[in-house]
Structure 1
Amino acid sequence: MKFMGVQEFAQRALANLKMVHNAIIASCTHQTFQANKLRQEEPEFTIGSKLYLSTQNLALPKGRARKLMPKFIGPYEITDVHAATSNYTLELPQELKDRRILPTFHVSLLR
């Protein structure tokens, strides 16, 4: 009966490690490709356009039920565009500013 030497064992272990590493990278690439197939193209808005804002993450005024609130409020005018991060700055009314709501929102919250 022949036993593997230490060198042979180390070489085989390194070869297996490289093979597993390549399989993980291929799997990540495939998953990214499949996930990106379902993504929609981002709509492009320009400064001065009017958009509706989702109330999904906004804090409610005291004593109001979320199910009775509108899903979108607005329209509000775009004052700045951050294309790299898909964020837009809106001109919010004083009522929302008083509630300390920041004016920059991701495109997924706009319509």
Structure 2
Amino acid sequence: SATGKAPFEVTRLYLPRMGVEPDKSKNEAAGNMAKDMKSVLDKTCKALFKTAEQMKGRAEHRRSKAPDYKVGDLVWLDTDHLKLKDRQSRKLTKKWIGPYRIKEVKPNAVELELPKRMRVVPTVNISRVKPFKGPLPGQRVDRPGPVVVTQEGEEEFEVEQVVDARLKRGKLEFLVLWKGYGDKDRTWEPEAHLENS
């Protein structure tokens, strides 16, 4: 359909004979009708092509241009398609996480410096990231703090201090101040999360 010719005609430069071709009509009205039908078909094809080009132009005009990312830029990462280990519910998970630094820029994708504990492919389409322009008021930013890399190659955050303890549903939890983070970033962690601390 792109060439307007049959594959046989493209490779052999002629159309094969079927062996039952009708004789050319000597009736002038039949010839005129065939010409008119071909003319209508050609005009319709041109109109459809013109309409498709106009629709493409309008769509490209409305489409917002992706930001020009550079190596070292910070970006937010969309969590919609991520399989995060600690995700309990898709609805309750943050829509954007980060910021993460860009390690490499490709034509339609960026490679991010992601923590190994995330276990996701670091190369993502540019539609799944957005520029980091600083946190919104009241928004907590997941800053990477000092980490220890275990023999298995996993990252673990260092505990600076255990501030408090409590029993929750019969299980012991600790209020942890993480090394490299402030007081507002303290979290309650179950005993199992602090095995190597």
Indicate whether the TM-score tops 0.5: yes
Greater per-residue strand proportion: 2
Aligned amino acid, residue 94 of structure 1: K
Q: Which residue matches 2:128?
A: 109
Q: Does 1:95 align with 2:114?
A: no
Q: TM-score, normalised by structure 1?
A: 0.83
Count the aligned residue pairs.
Answer: 104
Rounded to whole Å, the distance in 2 between the matches of 1:94 and 1:79 is 14
In the alignment, is the contact (CA less than 8 A) between 2:75 and 2:98 conserved in 1? yes
Greater per-residue helix proportion: 1
Rounded to whole Å, the distance in 2 between the matches of 1:56 and 1:69 is 9
Corresponding residue SS for 1:40: coil
What does residue range 31-46 of structure 1 map to in structure 2 within 5 Å?
31-46=55-70
Structure 1 vs Structure 2 CA RMSD: 1.8
Deviation digits for residues 32-59 of structure 1 (CA, Å, limit 9, x no counterpart)? 1111221112101101112110101112
Unaligned runs of 5+ in 2: 1-26, 131-197
Tell me which structure has the larger Cα radius of gyration: 2
In the alignment, is the contact (CA less than 8 A) between 1:60 and 1:66 conserved in 2? no
Q: State which of 64, 69, 79 in structure 1 corresponds to 2:103.
A: 79
Q: Which residue matches 1:52?
A: 76
Point out which structure has higher relative CO (alpha carbons under 8 A, 6+ apart): 1
Identity %: 27
Aligned amino acid, residue 39 of structure 1: R
Unaligned runs of 5+ in 1: none
Q: State which of 94, 99, 108 in structure 2 corresponds to 1:70.
A: 94
Aligned amino acid, residue 74 of structure 1: G
